[in-house]
Every structure is written in C-alpha cells, then in structure tokens.
Amino acid sequence: MKITPLSAVGAEVTEVDVRALTDTQDAQLKAAFAQHGLLIFRGQDLTETDHVALAERWGQINTNRFFKAHADYPQIALVEKMPDQIQNIGGDWHTDHSYDQIPALGSILVARTLPETGGDTWFASMYRAFDQLSNGLKTLLQTLNAVHSAKHVFGNQSEYMQTNMSQKRMRRPDLADALPDPVHPVVVRHPLSGRPVLYVNPGFTIRFDGWTQEESAPLLNFLYQSAVVDDQVQVVDWRPGTIAFWDNRATWHFAQNDYPGQTRSMHRITIEGEALQAHQSLQTRPKDAAPGR
C-alpha cells in the first residue's frame, strides 16, 4: 500500500484493495486519516455491501435523516444530480453534521456515475485554517463557542429543501426543524490527533454563542475567507473507482456544480463521531493537565 500526501490537503492511497485490508494496512490508514484528514483511494471496485463493510471498520454508521437513501441499503445516502436538475447537493463550503450534538467522524463517498467533465470536490484543511492565524486571534477563538444549525439548510423554510424536496432528493425537514441547535467550541481538540482544528463552517455555523448573527458575521467571514486561499484548496477529481474518505472535524468540502445537463451520482456513508472538546491553549490549560498530543 502506498500513501502519498497531496499538495494541499489529504493523501492518495494506491496499491491496496480496500475490500481486503490487513490489520497492518488498517492501522496505517487510521494513522494517515488522523494526520491528513482526507484519504483518496483510486482504482477500487466496491459493491454497496463492500462500502458498508468498509465504513463499519471505522465505526457505527449514521443513517442520513435528510437525503434520499439507496433503495436496498438505507445506510447509503444518495448524493445525486440528474440532467434536469440545476442545484447540486453540497455545493458550498461545509462540513457534514456539525449541526449534531455529537458530530460525525467522517464520510466515505464512492463515485457511481460521473459527468464527462467537471464535478470535482474541493477540500480545505481546518488544521491549517487554525495554524495560520495570529497568536492573538488564536487565543480569542479558543475562548469562544459557536452555534450550529440544520434548520436553514434542511428545514421546511430552507430554499435548499424546497428545491430538492420537489425533486425527491431530500426528506424529513421536520426533523431538521426539531433538532436543537448545538453549541461547539470554535477551536476543537481533534479527537484522533489531539491537534487544534478550527470548527466553524459556512454551511451550518450561524453565530458565536452569546453574540448576535450581525456581530458574528465579520469574524466568521474573515475565518472562512482565510481558510480557502487558492493554494490551500485541494481539488479532487473523480474517476471510476475513486473513493474519498474525509474527516468532518479536520476538513471542509465543496462539491463543484459545473456539469449542466449531465448526471453525477455518488453513494455516501457517514460514520458516527464523538462529543467534541475545546482545545485549550497552553496559557489556559490547568497546570496538572497532561500535555496535548
């Protein structure tokens, strides 16, 4: 198995069959996932059953509440755009499930039908998004929490839901409207690597806790813009046999919508994560606490 870091975010994994991982390969992949936050596998041949089995190696599957599910595999969410559809799913910077109290670990996306050109997915690193900030801003952010929500994206009043509902790609807006908006630390101690990650995103973060939306917007927008400077964005092209496995705590992603009149059909399985803890700065960490990994 060969793991080659990509230029901006993630690593490409080749010379492996993910249907038959050895324990050693499994351990190497888990280490690479914690380090890079994104693994791109090429040349794989996965059935739906294989996809489910691969996801289960990493944790419990989160059955998606809002996306249309595969007819025979409810664990598989369909991320589809048909020739007559204008809007795609995931067509802006976001991380999946930050609107949950316990956000998902990550998602495994398998290409099923691809457009002739276009349909890339862009990724950004939230390790880097935090690391590049000034010490002053880092210290401020480490004192803040942010409120996240699914309502404006998947709820009854969302434009996204109106469009996609009518095209039968989405469901259960009532569940989004009933979901309590969780509060997460703005700087999270990454559960696998122990490193600080910036945990706000344009898709689902609505404001800083204790701040109004108007007060929050300028700082959030600054963070969003500085996280996706061109040379820090990883463009991932899809080919038959490509699988992307991203960490929802360490990365954002953005599905490009540049293939009008063509079909793009992907299968996504999302894996449950764990409650997120704040990453405390050295100044604020209690004296007897263990040093961060």
Question: Within 259-278, which residues bind ligand SIN (CB under 6 A)?
Answer: 266, 268
For residue 209, indicate whether it is catalytic: no
Q: Is 121 in the site for ligand SIN (CB under 6 A)?
A: yes
Q: Is 51 in the site for ligand SIN (CB under 6 A)?
A: no
Comparing CB distances to ligand SIN, the nearer of 79 and 186 is: 79
Q: Is 38 in the site for ligand SIN (CB under 6 A)?
A: no
- In whole angstroms, how close is the CB of 270 to ligand SIN at the nearest point? 8
Q: Is 61 in the site for ligand SIN (CB under 6 A)?
A: no
Residues 6+ apart with CB under 8 A from 2: 13, 14, 15, 16
From the list 31-39, 89-97, 173-181, 221-229, the region that binds ligand SIN by CB under 6 A is 89-97
For residue 293, indicate whether it is catalytic: no
- In whole angstroms, how close is the CB of 79 to ligand SIN at the nearest point? 5
- In whole angstroms, how close is the CB of 112 to ligand SIN at the nearest point? 11
Comparing CB distances to ligand SIN, the nearer of 37 and 90 is: 90
Q: Is 248 in the site for ligand SIN (CB under 6 A)?
A: no
Q: Is 150 in the site for ligand SIN (CB under 6 A)?
A: no
Comparing CB distances to ligand SIN, the nearer of 121 and 234 is: 121
Applying CB under 6 A, among 36, 169, 253, 279 the residue interacting with ligand SIN is 253
Give the span between the Cα atoms of 88 and 46, in whole angstroms: 24
Comparing CB distances to ligand SIN, the nearer of 121 and 193 is: 121
Catalytic residue among 51, 65, 96, 190: 96
For residue 245, what are its two tokens?
Answer: 């496995």
- In whole angstroms, how close is the CB of 286 to ligand SIN at the nearest point? 38
For residue 190, indicate whether it is catalytic: no
Q: Is 79 in the site for ligand SIN (CB under 6 A)?
A: yes
Q: Are the C-beta atoms of residues 58 and 193 closer than 8 Å to each other?
A: no
From the list 7-15, 23-31, 88-96, 281-289, the region that binds ligand SIN by CB under 6 A is 88-96
Q: Are the C-beta atoms of residues 2 and 15 closer than 8 Å to each other?
A: yes
For residue 36, indicate whether it is catalytic: no
Q: Is 114 in the site for ligand SIN (CB under 6 A)?
A: no
Give the span between the Cα atoms of 79 and 144, in whole angstroms: 33
Contact residues for ligand SIN (CB under 6 A)? 79, 89-90, 96, 107, 109, 121, 253, 255, 266, 268
Q: Which residues are catalytic?
A: 94, 96, 253, 268
